Homo-oligomer: A and B are copies of this chain.
C-alpha cells in the first residue's frame, strides 16, 4: 500500500478470475457480477477498471495466449537439434491435449471469438506467428507452417477423442511432415 489506497493487483486479479470463470462456464457464462464475486472485488470495480466486458475478455485472452506461446518458445528454445525439436513438438502436443482441460477450453473459446471478431483474430494471428517463428528456429518456413497446422490438428483431435491416440502416432506424423525434402 505504498500509495495508500490504490491496489495495482486488483486489475490482474480480475483478469485471473475472468479466465477461471471462462474455464468453468464459458465466455457465455461470464458476467460482471460473477467475475467480481470470484475476484473478491465489488461490482463497481468492474466498470471502473474495464470499459466493458469486451475489454476484460480481450485482456484475458491476451494474457492466456501469451502464456501458452511462452511455453511453446521455451520448449523449442531448449532444443538444439532437429530431432530434439521433434521431441519437443510431440511433448507440446501431448501436453496441450493432456488432462488439463483448462488450456483446451480457453483455446476453443478464443478461436470461437476469433472466428467472428477481427480484434480476437488479431490475437490468434500474433499467437500463430510467434509459434511459427519458434518452429523456424529448427525448420524451414514452409515446413514450420505445415508443422504448426499439424500440431493444432493433433492437439484438438487428441483432446476430443474418447481414446486419445498414442504418442507413437504423433511422433510418426511429425516425422513425416518434417522429413527432409527429396
Contacts and interface: CB of A to CB of B under 8 A. Distances in A.
A115 B101 contact: yes
A93 to B, nearest CB: 9
A169 B145 contact: yes
Interface stretch (A39-47, A60-68, A158-166): A158-166
A123 B44 CA distance: 41
A172 interface: yes
A22 to B, nearest CB: 10
What range describes how many residues of A lie at the interface? 35 or more
A38 interface: no
A83 interface: no
A5 interface: no
A101 B117 CA distance: 11
Contacts of A154: 146, 149, 153
Contacts of A165: 145
The 9 nearest A-B residue pairs measured at CB:
A153-B153, A149-B153, A28-B28, A152-B153, A146-B173, A108-B112, A149-B154, A105-B115, A108-B115
17 contacts: A27-B28, A28-B28, A101-B116, A108-B114, A111-B112, A112-B112, A121-B160, A128-B157, A128-B160, A142-B172, A146-B169, A148-B157, A149-B154, A151-B153, A152-B153, A152-B157, A176-B179
